[in-house]
Amino acid sequence: MKVALLGLLLFAGSAHAKIVQFLYIEASEGNSSGGHVAVQLGDDVYHYQYENALIRLFKHKAEAFRVNYQLLQNRTIHIADIEVSDTAYDRISSYFKVRFFGQTQQLKHLKALEQDQALLQALLEWKAGKPVSALSALGSETSLKSPGAGLFYGDGNLGAVKASAECATKSTSTNIIAKLKQQLEGRYGKEFLAQKIIATDKALRQLFPLTQINDNSTNPSHYAFSERYSDLLNGFLALQVLQKAQSLTNSACFEVSLPGMKLNDAEIRLAETFRHDLLLSAQSLMVSKRPDWGYALFVTLARLIVIEHSIQTRHWTFLDDTDEKVIAIPQQQLALYAEQLQKQRRNDLKDMLEAFSDLDEGSGAYERRYVNLEIAANRYQQWLKSDKTGELRYQSEQALPNKSIPLTRFLLTDLSAEQLEAALNYQELAGERQLKEDSDRNAYHLLTKNCVTALLENINEAVAGQSKQMLGGFVDPQLNFIPFQAFDSVQETYKVVNIRELPAYRQQELTKMYDREVDSWVYARESNVFSSSLYNHNPDDAWFVFFTDDAALLRPLFGAVNTLAATSQSVWGLFSLPLDEGRGLKIGARGVLTSLPELAFFNIRKGSYPFPIEHSIQQ
């Protein structure tokens, strides 16, 4: 615990000292296997990574970065504190912020172009009466969906795990939506809802995409056709929910039946006040100018229903806000962390009960306290689901529910096939041009454009030729393209005032064991994967037998055994090729590559710990 706290104190930049931190992460199997570098500015860490033959800038919070590399990937982080002036710090910080924002906007634009093409192709297929395949062909990260619609519209391919108990809200939905419709008529007139539906339907059917190049078409902040279509469709579907008093889907909510969480009279009154606020919010959204008013209306209506249901039953009912993109931890992996899981489960139950107590006693707005309770309840609900499914979506809760459905379920347009084809041709040309420009600008090269050279180039560009005055010297990216070499050059060149390291997770735990037990026994037990109490095999790690990061003299001998183990996995991968699509062969080959350097006294592999359960308990 002390080591973890010390690491946090060391890793976090001081709010008062003007320090730029240059980080070197040691080599290991997997991503950035030859080592990695990053720069920390306050609580933000910037680094480059390889992605689809391109080099991309990533930004993380310092603690999340440390957990990923130091704990999960089990890699030691070396830190060089560079003393700079206020002017130099502001320049470097502003440069990285602007560059990351520009990249984010550009990637958003590229994604929008891809989605525009897929949507136009889908509309053409729908127009021709063919099965729509264009949108489903996109990957899950880029496929165009209707966020929030999954709260009211069911779909067999949502991918979400069904709630342990059905979300039966039909009568509640009828009552609360009837009340809202009555208020809308009193505020905006009897024909308001019908006219709003007709206007939204017309705008959706007549929505026209760009068919010629203009200044806005290549602007990364341009409101894309697919985004406008999605927002309008969401608004139309949300209005249909309101008109038909549609209930939530069976998997959209769950009830918490714990005895200690039954609502008393005071809590009912607070919930009724919150219901009143939600009713006013729903009325305002009906005339809102925000483009995503449909999604906001979905969430507001859904919250209204579960709040009303909670008031009527005196038991809390919450929306299921599970992030659909979170991958469940399989039962095989959960078994490796049984003791830690039970501790975490008890902690999550405690957090939920505390959030319930804070609801009527805590400070701040009631809505914020309610959202905190909803998040805590969703986290504990995942434990209850895991009892039945055997798998766990760990920390998959989010502040707003985002259940989505594919747009292919609700395609509408009055555009002709000729108009759609012309728009598709334009989008394809624009997409090809943008992809080529992106590739020319960000193409990865092992020696001249990698995670080290790109980061050093950014630092040099940030200080605009004043590297000597602002940093103490100039580090040439073309001569320092290897991570550990670049870190040495930074130490020798820049105004470095302090050097320290954050030991990898396994090294931290070994230090504790050496303090408690006999050194020879600890070394013998922890030197191999079969008797180690710290390491449980991670399926993403290649087969190996001995840890060599703390065995310098025996490293060649251990490396020979590890090479043999990885070779065995590669051979087995050949036989299992039809079953695992080459995964075993690929991991085995990677294991051979990371084991061979051990024959020459060089260590790369450290072993990884894929789920930070124990760290979460400490936090």
Across the range 585-611, mean pLDDT stands at: 88
Share of the chain above pLDDT 70, in %: 89
In this prediction, residue 166 has a pLDDT band, given cuts at 50, 70 and 90, of low
Residue with tokens 């203009």: 214
Across the range 567-576, mean pLDDT stands at: 91
User: How deeply is 414 buried, as exposed, middle or buried, from its count of CB atoms within 10 A (0-12, 13-18, 19+)?
Assistant: exposed
**CA 293 to chain centroid:** 24
pTM for the structure as a whole: 0.82
For residue 17, the model assigns a pLDDT of 58
In angstroms, rounded to a whole number, what is the distance separating the alpha carbons of residues 134 and 148? 22
In angstroms, rounded to a whole number, what is the distance separating the alpha carbons of residues 76 and 530? 23
Q: Which of 378, 408, 17 shows the shortest CA–CA distance to 163? A: 378
CB 565 within 8 A of CB 545: yes
Query: Who has greater pLDDT, 605 or 20?
Result: 20
CB 219 within 8 A of CB 130: no
Strand partners, 45: 40, 60
For residue 134, the model assigns a pLDDT of 57
CB 123 within 8 A of CB 413: yes
Across the range 83-108, mean pLDDT stands at: 96
CB 402 within 8 A of CB 323: yes
Least confident of 207-221, 401-415, 554-568: 207-221
Any idea of the CA torsion for 317, 319, 321, 327, to the nearest 10 degrees?
Answer: 70
Share of the chain above pLDDT 90, in %: 66
Query: Who has greater pLDDT, 324 or 253?
Result: 253
**CB contact set of 128 (below 8 Å; sequence gap of 6+):** 417
pLDDT digits (tens, 9 = 90+) for 223-238: 899 999 999 999 999 9
SS3 of 84-151: the string is CCHHHHHHHHHHHHHHHHHHHHHHHHHHHHHHHHHHHHHHHHHHCCCCCCHHHHCCCCCCCEEECHHH
CB atoms within 10 A of CB 164: 14
pLDDT of 614 higher than 60: no
pLDDT of 357 higher than 80: yes
For residue 617, the model assigns a pLDDT of 37
pLDDT digits (tens, 9 = 90+) for 372-428: 999 999 999 999 988 888 888 876 667 788 888 888 888 999 999 999 999 999 999
For residue 9, the model assigns a pLDDT of 45
In angstroms, rounded to a whole number, what is the distance separating the alpha carbons of residues 484 and 375? 42
pLDDT digits (tens, 9 = 90+) for 261-311: 889 999 999 999 999 999 999 999 999 999 999 999 999 999 999 999 999
Instruction: Name the residue ranges covered by the structural domains of the chain.
Output: 2-104+442-503, 133-209+223-410, 529-618
pLDDT of 193 higher than 90: yes
The chain-wide mean pLDDT, for the chain, equals: 87
Query: Who has greater pLDDT, 164 or 196?
Result: 196
* C-alpha distance from residue 515 to each of 213, 503, 507, 512, 520 (Å): 69, 16, 13, 5, 12
